[in-house]
Amino acid sequence: MRSIVSFLFAASVLSPLSAAAEVQPHRAEYTLRLGAAANAARIGTAVHDLTQDCGGWHLKRDIKTEIALTASWKMSLASKLDSEETRNAFRYGLVQTQNGNPRDVKGRVQKQGGDLKAEIVFGTSPPAQFVLPPPTLLPVAAINHLIERLTAKAASFPALMFDPEVIGDVFLIEVTEQDRATLRGARPADKQVALPQGKSWPVFMSFSRGRNQDTKPIFSVTALVFENGVLDRLTVDTGLLSVTADLASLEMRKAPVCPRA
């Protein structure tokens, strides 16, 4: 499950936040398939619902999959995230279900003094508390940074991002812009979706554990990143299997008009 949901974290960088790069609120639905072949079997759906008000960002994700590797071996997986993000804090609730067995997770990341501290509760276990390495970015802020660096023509760069769904910890992400010719094409069965106007970049990202400084990749992701934060043509490769995600529908929303601080 963690490898499947990870594609939605394909973003972050290490530079200060810039107002020039800005994610737009949107609702995107994806079709998930097992493998990158044109006739790859459909295994589920994902919904990425991002809204914004003058207090910050609200992100909901709903991912459902059912994988059948053999006639007798099937796995049903689901993940539901409900989160709020401001400049200095990130709070979330997460329910992940495997073959009908749910696991509840609640967490918060908060700036306290000069530190960014996390507290995560897995079910009824005592809270796990730790300090995140600087300059770890929160999920939506991280996408803003990714767009900023790509806009600045940075061909490759490292990134640290807090991830609530895959490892509940910090990812180190190595980002590299790719040649557009390497991007996976649309499948014949895909419905045509009106894609955002403006710039986009094909990227390759390698994910490893950031807080423990473990440089051995857990998985890699390729994706097409649009300048408004929309992602398409995602492929997650764990080494054992690959899962792809393609836009099935997209609804862009207006950002709120907020008073200046």
> What's the domain count of the chain?
1
Given a cut of 60, whether residue 10 has pLDDT beyond it is no
Whether 257 maps to a domain, the answer reads: no
The larger pLDDT score, comparing residue 251 to residue 216, is at: 251
pLDDT tens sequence across 176-188: 999 999 888 888 7
Q: What does the pLDDT read at residue 215?
A: 76
Q: Which amino acid is at 136?
A: T
Whether 173 maps to a domain, the answer reads: yes
Whether 259 maps to a domain, the answer reads: no
Whether 22 maps to a domain, the answer reads: yes
- pLDDT band, residue 213 (cuts 50/70/90): confident
Whether 261 maps to a domain, the answer reads: no
3-state SS record for the chain: CHHHHHHHHCCCCCCCCCCCCCCCCEEEEEEEEECCCCCCEEEEEEEEEEEEECCEEEEEEEEEEEEECCCCCEEEEEEEEEEEECCCEEEEEEEEEECCEEEEEEEEEEEECCEEEEEEEECCCCCEEEEECCCCECHHHHHHHHHHHHHCCCCEEEEEEEECCCCCEEEEEEEEECCHHHCCCCCCCCCCCCCCCCCEEEEEEEEEECCCCCCCCCEEEEEEEECCCCEEEEEEECCCCEEEEEEEEEEECCCCCCCCC
Given a cut of 50, whether residue 9 has pLDDT beyond it is no
Whether 147 maps to a domain, the answer reads: yes
Pick from 168, 174, 104: nearest CA to 132: 168
Look up the pTM and report it. 0.88
How high does pLDDT run on average in the chain?
89
Residue 24's domain comprises 2-252
Whether 198 maps to a domain, the answer reads: yes
What's the average model confidence in pLDDT over 244-253?
96
Q: What does the pLDDT read at residue 38?
A: 86
Cross-strand bridge partners of residue 206: 174, 220
